[in-house]
Amino acid sequence: MVWTRAKKKWVRLWMHLAGVSPFGRMAIYLASLCAPPHKDAQSLAMMSPFGYIAPSATLHHSELKLGAHIFISDRVLLFQAYNGGAITLGDRVAILRDTILETGDGGRITVGDEAYIHPRCQINAYVTAIEIGARVLIAANTAFYTHNHGTKPGEPIISQPLASKGPIVVGDDAWIGSGVVVLGGVRIGPGAVVGAGSVVTRDIPAQSIAIGVPAKVVGTRGSPSEAHDNPPAGKDQAGGRPDQKTQ
């Protein structure tokens, strides 16, 4: 679709009226009729302090706290299960298509300014919190789970209470590669990198590079070994922002 001057005027007209009310969501729908697809639609988020929430996104949550110029893409779901705590998104957070953020049983989710979450991620905060720092990059198909089911013998697992080893905390400027699983009780330090397909079951220090199942530290950023290796997340699943040439 050609991004013509007339289409830009149409989009700006309706994005000026964007909001979470039924009318505000309708205004976004009308703007989206002439909007560019996928990551390019993020430009619409900067046209309104409210940001851009795709018409197909579902906000089933009573405790949303949304920062300025957020971008929530197609078919994203923000879901509040029983007794779920708040979901707080900082300024200019971007969440791409088919990602689910879910809180329940007292859990809550906080995402810092300019964090970027790629498609098909599952971020579930039950029992305790998930805290994602500013400018964190999370590549596609990544999962965060703070909780486990009980596994006592002689009782159906589905009937047993949820348990947690503690919150998940991801420091500012960390990079989580494609297909990573992060489990409860884990802290990933600022600036750390976790390679694609890893399962994080223990803390990762700041500025470290970790890979594997379970994830183990194999180096630090700027070390000689890093210069000779491919980026741990892989060229095509890097999880960078759309203005970075990662794909």
Residue 2 has pLDDT above 80, yes or no: no
Residue 218 has pLDDT above 90, yes or no: yes
Angle between helices 5-15 and 22-32 (to 10 degrees): 170
At 240, is the pLDDT very low, low, confident or very high (cuts 50, 70, 90)?
A: low
pLDDT digits (tens, 9 = 90+) for 57-104: 999 999 999 999 999 999 999 999 999 999 999 999 999 999 999 999
Question: How many other C-beta atoms are found inside a 10 Å radius of the C-beta of residue 244?
Answer: 11
Given this model, what pLDDT does residue 122 score? Answer: 98
Given this model, what pLDDT does residue 246 score? Answer: 32
Helix (H) or strand (E) run with residue 220 in it = strand 216-220
Whether 149 sits among the annotated catalytic residues: the reply is yes
At 239, is the pLDDT very low, low, confident or very high (cuts 50, 70, 90)?
A: low
Residue 207, both tokens = 């500025």
The string over 131-166, giving b where at least 16 C-beta atoms fall within 10 Å of a residue's C-beta and e elsewhere, is bbbbbbbbbbbbbbbbbbeeeeeeeeeeeeeeebee
Structural domains in the chain, CATH included, are 1-44 (no CATH), 56-237 (2.160.10.10)
Do the bridges between strand 122-126 and strand 100-104 make them parallel or antiparallel, or are there none, so unpaired?
Answer: parallel
CA atoms 59, 239, 71, 115: torsion sign? positive
Residue 235 has pLDDT above 60, yes or no: no
Taking the model in full, what pTM does it have? 0.87
Given this model, what pLDDT does residue 3 score? Answer: 60
At 20, is the pLDDT very low, low, confident or very high (cuts 50, 70, 90)?
A: confident
**Exactly one of 16, 38, 60, 149 is catalytic; which is it?**
149
* Percentage of residues in the chain having pLDDT higher than 70: 89
CA atoms 121, 231, 225, 206: torsion sign? negative
Contact of 134 with 172, CB cutoff 8 Å? yes
Residue 162 has pLDDT above 50, yes or no: yes
Question: How many other C-beta atoms are found inside a 10 Å radius of the C-beta of residue 246?
Answer: 18
